[in-house]
Amino acid sequence: MKDEGKYLCPYCGATFETFEGLKGHALAEHKAEAVPLPEGMITLTINGQVYQVQVEPQWTLNYLLHDRLGLTSPKMFCDRGACGSCTVIMEGRPILSCMSLAIECDGKKIETAEGIADAGHPLIESYVKHHCMQCGYCTPGFVTTAKALLDRVPNPTEEEIIDALGGNLCRCGTYPQHPKAILEAAETLRQRGGGNGS
């Protein structure tokens, strides 16, 4: 790294006037150490798969997932953290991916609606059965929020479901169907032996 005409050691931050000086220092003092990762390199586990990606400081998690990695379920609707369409699960909690910087997610485990569907979670079937979507744009955000709830509260009440979904907006007005689908999915999980489907 070069800073104002000086070379900075990426291991310890020592400065050198020449590249040769830096090189000699690195070979003498840091020979046994692993090469440091470039700035902006992060590692994420997404739907069980490990990704190592170079990110820019301003990238949101939504931009990384949707636009760079091709996971299309986290939608961009309001871009203000107000609608829930970009919701993903990070470390067991539903988060708004449009309000999270990708660079701050280094080392995290993330689930998207694609991963929930691939795992055969009963939410997918119950959402279809109970017609929880019309245009479908908001559905992945609802599914991830519901999955996080069921992981945390295996036997939720209707009130707990309504409260958990309070940050998810549906322009088509499918709200009454979501609690029915989630209660049915919870029952299916209990019949399977309490597993969360992932």
Confidence of residue 2 (pLDDT cuts 50, 70, 90): very low
DSSP states of 53-80 as a string?
A: EE--TT-BHHIIIIIIS---SS--SSSS
* % of residues, the chain, pLDDT over 90: 81
Under 8 Å between Cβ of 113 and 87 = no
| DSSP helix/strand/coil, 45 | strand
The 10s digit of each residue's pLDDT in 49-62 is 999 999 999 999 99
- Neighbouring-strand partners of residue 53: 42
Which pLDDT value is given to residue 91? Answer: 98
What's the pLDDT at 35? 72
> What letter would DSSP give residue 193?
T
Residue pair 159/101 in contact by the 8 Å Cβ criterion: no
* pLDDT average, residue stretch 21-33: 89
Question: What global pTM score does this model have?
Answer: 0.81
In terms of Cα–Cα distance, which of 43, 63, 59 is closest to 51? 43
Phi-psi region of 163 (alpha: psi -120 to 50; beta: other; left: phi over 0): alpha
pLDDT tens readout for residues 103-126? 999 999 999 999 999 999 999 999
pLDDT (tens digit per residue) in 64-108 = 999 999 999 999 999 999 999 999 999 999 999 999 999 999 999
Burial of residue 33, with CB atoms counted within 10 A of its CB: 0-12 exposed, 13-18 middle, 19 or more buried: exposed
User: pLDDT over 70 for what percent of the chain?
Assistant: 95
Q: Give the strands of the sheet with 15-16, arranged side by side.
A: 2-3, 6-8, 15-16
From the list 168, 109, 174, 101, the residue with the least C-alpha distance to 141 is 168
Q: What is the pLDDT of residues 135-144, one digit of tens each?
A: 999 999 999 9
Q: Is 10 left (phi over 0), alpha (psi -120 to 50) or beta?
A: alpha
- pLDDT by residue (tens digit) across 152-164? 999 999 999 999 9
Helix residue ranges, H only, 36-112:
61-62
